[in-house]
Amino acid sequence: MKNRPDPRPETLAAQADHFLDPATGAIVPPLVASTTFARNDDYSLRAATSYSRYGTANWQQAEGLIAKLEGAAAAAVLASGLAAAAAVVMTLRPGQRIVVHDTMYWGFLAWLKDFSRQWNLDLVLVDMTDLAALERALAKPTEIVWFESPTNPLWQVLDIAAIAKLGKAAGARVCLDSTVATPVLTRPLSLGCDLVMHSATKYLNGHSDVLAGALAVAKADEWWERILFNRTSVGASLGPFEAWLLLRGMRTLYPRVRQASETALTLATHLASHPKVERVLYPGLPSHPGHEVARRQMQGGFGGMLSILVKGGGEAALRVCTATELFHRATSLGSVESLIEHRHTVEGVHGVSPPALLRLSVGLEHPDDLLADLEQALAKA
Ligand SMILES: *Cc1c(COP(=O)(O)O)cnc(C)c1O
């Protein structure tokens, strides 16, 4: 019998779901490297799995925690964020329709366009900040609605509850890439989504040392079974060490995301009135067009990601980017160290970033150090 209320998500994360190894008393899960698992004398399986492509104890621990943090019926970890997204899209059959927001993680959109052509999917791109446009796009039978919020790298905020309502009214499965918001700030299933996807490479792990993806669902139905089949049948399985590192990283998820959000708001507020900065894109600023929606669907912060538009265009932005001394010039996001990136240079043909844009992933360094670094770099614009 429990003498206390159910633990809050921060408590579950900090304790890795109160892990305790019955065999050894260890409170840190052991790394199970074995790929194969023995059978009993009567040939029954000893463990839940026979072979590690189908799962290992280290997966199950990470999945159990993610499911609880998202308030999900079930969760799955996969080899990368893109593997997770692909496992969902591959439930579609030729001719079926998928409606997506017109800007999202470029790598996924590039793959989706290519796969849709090959697989004869009816892929529809729509600006979901315009709910009437979304409703028109959903007039034909639609299987999947897919979007992100905030969107990378312009940090548009999409109204999750409104999009989920329209999607479900049209009979679609509503899926959200919640990598940037994390379960700390937004719980998409409670806002009506059917499925949440994470690039666990980012905030969930948080230390730039694991490539992983995660999915969590409101209902563990036949569709979910097909997604799990897509994962293991093509071998998009996460290695046990990656799962182990992911669980370890998630223990500090809540304080990391809250600190990064606080520092990002400090930087955004400061940069908004900087003479060398044209505009700051950050949902936490009252001037941001999505601020009111963000206040409704993000709790306790607006995330650690922002972009700035440097006055003087692309060349000025590159001068700033190449002058930082603490911000690493590197891609990716959601880790303990701060990163800066000139997206226009790296996006190529699928790009949406104007040349003046610099994307900042705010880490856990002292905010004054980060500000001082940006100040000296902006002086070179
Ligand atoms: C990084 C990222 C992905 C892709 O995830 P990988 O783990 O790199 O495969 C998808 N969506 C968003 C928002 C991302 O930031």
List pLDDT tens digits, range 85-121.
999 999 999 999 999 999 999 899 999 999 999 999 9
Q: What is the distance in A from the centroid of ligand 1 to the CA of 83?
A: 10
Q: How many distinct structural domains can be found in the chain? A: 2
In a domain, 1, yes or no: no
Residue at which a domain ends, from 192, 219, 250: 250
Last residue of a domain, one of 208, 235, 250: 250
User: Cα-flanking dihedrals φ and ψ of residue 282, to 5°?
Assistant: -155, 125
Nearest CA to ligand 1 atom 5: 81
**pLDDT at residue 286, as a whole number:** 97
> How far apart, in whole angstroms, are the C-alpha atoms of residue 60 and residue 243?
9
Burial 138-165 (b: 16+ CB within 10 A, else e): beeebbbbbbbbbbbbebbbbbbebbbe
Q: Please tell me the distance between residue 150's alpha carbon and the centre of ligand 1 in angstroms.
A: 13
Among 230, 250, 270, the domain-final residue is 250
CA distance linking residue 98 with residue 90, whole number of Å: 11
**Ramachandran area for residue 253 (φ above 0: left; ψ -120 to 50: alpha; else beta):** alpha
106 Cβ below 6 A of ligand 1: no
pLDDT tens-digit readout, 181-211: 999 999 999 999 999 999 999 999 999 999 9
Q: Is 103 in the pocket of ligand 1 (CB under 6 A)?
A: no
The SS3 assignment for 145 reads strand
Which of 356, 355, 320 has its CA nearest to residue 340?
A: 320
With respect to residue 48, please indicate whether it lies within any of the assigned structural domains.
yes
Q: Are residues 60 and 185 in the same domain?
A: yes
Q: Which of 82, 100, 154, 210 to mutate to test the pocket of ligand 1 (most atoms within 8 A of CB)?
A: 82
Q: Examine the domain organization and report whether 58 and 193 are in the same domain.
A: yes
Look up the CATH number of the domain holding residue 334.
3.90.1150.10
Tell me if 120 is assigned to some domain: yes
pTM for the model: 0.97
Residue 350 confidence (pLDDT) above 80: no
**The domain spanning residue 228 has which CATH number?**
3.40.640.10
Return the DSSP state at 212. Answer: -
Where in the sequence is the domain holding 221, given as residue range(s)? 9-250
> How many whole angstroms from 179 Cα to the centroid of ligand 1?
7
Same domain, residue pair 291 and 341: yes
Tell me which residue of 176, 188, 109, 186 sits closest to 148, measured CA to CA.
176
Closest CA to 379 of 339, 318, 319, 327: 319
Q: Are residues 207 and 293 in the same domain?
A: no
**How many helices, marked H, and strands, marked E, lie in the chain?**
14, 12
Distance CA 376, CA 366 (A): 16
